[in-house]
Amino acid sequence: MTDQAILVTGAAGFIGFHVARQLLAEGRPVVGLDNLNSYYDPALKQARLALLRNDSNFTFVEADLADRETTAALFARHRFDKVVHLAAQAGVRYSIDHPHAYADSNLQGFLNVLEGCRNNSCRHLVYASSSSVYGANTKLPFAVQDRTDHPVSFYAATKKANELMAQSYSHLYRLPVTGLRFFTIYGPWGRPDMALFLFVNAIMAERPIRLFNHGKMRRDFTYIDDVTRVVSKLIDRVPADDPAAANAPSKVYNVGNHHPEELMHVVGLLEQELGRTAIKELLPMQPGDVLETFADVEDLTRDTGFAPSTPIALGVRNFVTWYRDYFKV
């Protein structure tokens, strides 16, 4: 008997929380899994979970996907029809100093999810990839068909590995898989290691904000509510056999705002919302970083009739409003 509940991994994380909340709002039962690790303040994860627990259709499981036996038992018990895999060790810079954390979570953890899906008749696995797979590509905008075999960080390498692992399982076992290459997601309840969060923390504390490549960078900032809408639309859209994917039921999409923003412009919006001037520390380019990201979302728009489009000024205002409310500042 398959479980009508959708499994959302990383449910206490930034994107996982929002996706779980969206699915619950649609009346879908959700089993949320998270290992509640201390990569950043677990209190923020607990606060997100507390909101999800207000819904009687939500069940929480604290577990580590890298634990093979626990993961296998969870899948065998629930036999999930649909899985949204958003649990991962995130962060480009952290991966340079802590590569093993990425191998455990992003490789071993993902393999255990694939095995759980394969062995329990899952009908669709939607999983998070990243715009970082494009590496230092200079052709803009980044299109799904572009080469992605030159990662410039170990984090990016694990995300590309996820795409290849999913493709192989799709081909071998007819497991329908959809990979989402996320572009710089931001918004309320965000991760404290992400640029907007770091900038607001620093501006409020009157500390310098660190701007790499002397602030001359562009990012395709993508608002979280647009991301949840994409996942909601795609979860029921099971991929057909794709000639471009060796006739496997496998698909990959870019999920981005398709409108890169100058980093200095975003800092200016934050200054405006906070009513304070940032102290700017201009630094050279960091290892593992790229100058610009820009999503080609033509495939996504064609298949879902939707593309992210929240203006950066509105998204920044919503983030600052949430920040002030959450931290009472």
Give the range of the structural domain holding residue 271, as residue numbers without chain letter: 195-219+259-293+309-327
Give the CA diameter of the chain. 58
Examine the pLDDT at 303 and tell me if it is beyond 80.
yes
Average pLDDT, the chain: 95
Query: What mean pLDDT comes out for the span 9-21?
Result: 98
* Domain match, 79 and 100 both: yes
* Domain match, 204 and 133 both: no
Assigned domain for 29 exists: yes
Assigned domain for 302 exists: no
* Domain match, 264 and 246 both: no
Residue 124: partners with Cβ closer than 8 Å, 6 or more residues away: 81, 82, 83, 176, 177, 178, 235, 236, 238, 239
Examine the pLDDT at 221 and tell me if it is beyond 50.
yes
What residues act catalytically? 155
Amino acid at 51: L
Number of domains in the chain: 2
Q: Choose between 94 and 310: higher pLDDT.
A: 310
Q: How far apart are CA 276 and CA 43, in angstroms?
A: 27
- Pair of tokens at residue 109: 């953890």
* Domain match, 93 and 38 both: yes
pLDDT at 1: 39
Query: What mean pLDDT comes out for the span 111-126?
Result: 98
Assigned domain for 69 exists: yes
